[in-house]
Amino acid sequence: MGLAAMTTTARGMAATVKVLGRGELGRFTGGDRSEVGRFENELATAIGSRHALAVNSGTSALVAALVGAGVGPGDEVLVPAYTWVSTAAAALAVGAVPVLVEIDESLTMDPADLKDRISPRSKAVLPVHMGNHVADMDAIMEVAAAHDLVVVEDACQAIGVTYRGRRVGSIGHAAAFSFNQHKNIRSGEGGALMTNDTALFERASMYHDVGSYERPGFAGSDADLIVGVNLRMPELSAAVLRPQLAALDAQIARRNKHRGIVLEALAGRLGRGVAPVLHHDPAHAAGLALTFESEADAVAFGEHRGVHRLIDTGRHVYTNWRSLRARNPIHPALDPYAAVDAEIDHGPTACPRTLEILARTCAVDLAPELPSPAFRLLAKKMAG
């Protein structure tokens, strides 16, 4: 672990000790000293959004965003075929039905296929910035505007990354971040909803806290109250996250530097059967994946330390979403598919191009926690 990572960890430990010492562990017990409240303010400033709502997971952030946008039974939500299963599950959680969309060479939602899969029941689109690879948001926002769709960015795997001068999470009508163990900043579990839409924020806020109707600051006096659940983030999670948020730009810069180191090490192979995947803002890229001409070459490269072939990433690939394909509602009277008068294809042939791309593509872990000299040695081993 590098010095910067150790410093951030030490600050997080000190912050948690402070919270434990006060004994104020709940979201609303700290008053003006609330770590969650401070984190929300700092996150909104860092991302460039008017509102930030801290919740207990990225999945909860997606669900709350859809609730806030008024998505529900009878609606279709367009999601990429390559994403964590939560993206599709969030639609079902509000009574809507997910519709699969192909990815393109950027490993993100294909705007052309998105346009082709829109129906009269389409209500929202959830583009996903997978592994710090940004979706083509300009094209997606253009398609969404033409069809009056709500855009919720699933930026769970890309907090801190930019797209053409804007932070991901600030471009759509709403966005979701995740802070679980595998994300850019982490608290074990946790998430956040971002939006510039005050009405969406108020509705999502009410949903995330069943006691919101008695709390100031979450809903205007003229808001139509809804019954919520409990998706609140605890104080300890925010205490761990705040020092990491402060160091996020430096971490993203290290990812970008390490990307360059790998590409430099592989320079002799690039253009000869292997190429970096398309990136929609390459100068600021914080992720790296390589596409090979054959599956066999991808399998071989996937044996290197810090590398994995994307088709092998389990529940990130739509063909492994067994619970989605089962179409077994939690109760017969709460069946989202009953409200949609059409056959929605979630089977293995729904998005063949996605499977073909993933089978030939390997992701490279850019390991920002490693000092660059150590990472350079790792990159040389990848190059053989």
Question: Do residues 224 and 291 share a domain?
Answer: no
Residue at 328 is within a domain: no
Question: Do residues 93 and 223 share a domain?
Answer: yes
Average pLDDT over the chain, rounded to an integer: 93
Question: Do residues 107 and 230 share a domain?
Answer: yes
Query: Which has more pLDDT, 69 or 342?
Result: 69
Task: Tell which of 247, 266, 286 closes a domain.
Answer: 247
How confident is the model over 179-193, as a mean pLDDT?
A: 96
* Element containing residue 194 per DSSP (H, E): strand 191-195
Question: Do residues 170 and 197 share a domain?
Answer: yes
Q: Is there a contact between 368 and 255 (Cβ–Cβ < 8 Å)?
A: yes
Residue 375, both tokens = 């990472």
Residue at 269 is within a domain: yes
Residues 291-327 pLDDT 10s: 999 999 999 999 999 999 999 988 999 999 999 999 9
**pLDDT value of residue 22:** 76
Residue at 329 is within a domain: no
Task: Tell which of 202, 225, 247 closes a domain.
Answer: 247
Question: Do residues 158 and 301 share a domain?
Answer: no
**pLDDT value of residue 16:** 75
Binning pLDDT at 50, 70 and 90, where does residue 169 land? very high
Residue at 343 is within a domain: no
Residue at 167 is within a domain: yes
State how many domains the chain has: 2
222 pLDDT higher than 80: no
Q: Which domain holds residue 185?
A: 3-247
Residue at 16 is within a domain: yes
Question: Do residues 154 and 33 share a domain?
Answer: yes
Residue at 161 is within a domain: yes
Question: Do residues 25 and 139 share a domain?
Answer: yes
Residues 351-377 pLDDT 10s: 999 999 999 999 999 999 999 999 999
Alpha-carbon gap, residue 245 to 157, rounded angstroms = 14
Question: Do residues 372 and 240 share a domain?
Answer: no
Question: Do residues 91 and 205 share a domain?
Answer: yes
Binning pLDDT at 50, 70 and 90, where does residue 5 land? low
Residues 20-74 pLDDT 10s: 767 777 787 766 789 999 999 999 999 999 999 999 999 999 999 999 999 999 9
Residue at 336 is within a domain: no
**pLDDT value of residue 6:** 57
Question: Do residues 101 and 187 share a domain?
Answer: yes
Q: What angle do CA 327, 331, 334 make, to 5 degrees?
A: 80
What residue spans of the chain are helical by DSSP H?
3-22, 35-47, 58-68, 86-93, 111-116, 137-146, 198-208, 235-246, 248-265, 295-301, 322-326, 352-359, 372-382
**pLDDT value of residue 213:** 81
Task: Tell which of 247, 263, 278 closes a domain.
Answer: 247
Q: What is the 3-state secondary structure (H, E, C) of 217-260?
A: CCCCCCCCCCCCCECECCHHHHHHHHHHHHCHHHHHHHHHHHHH
**CATH for 363:** 3.90.1150.10
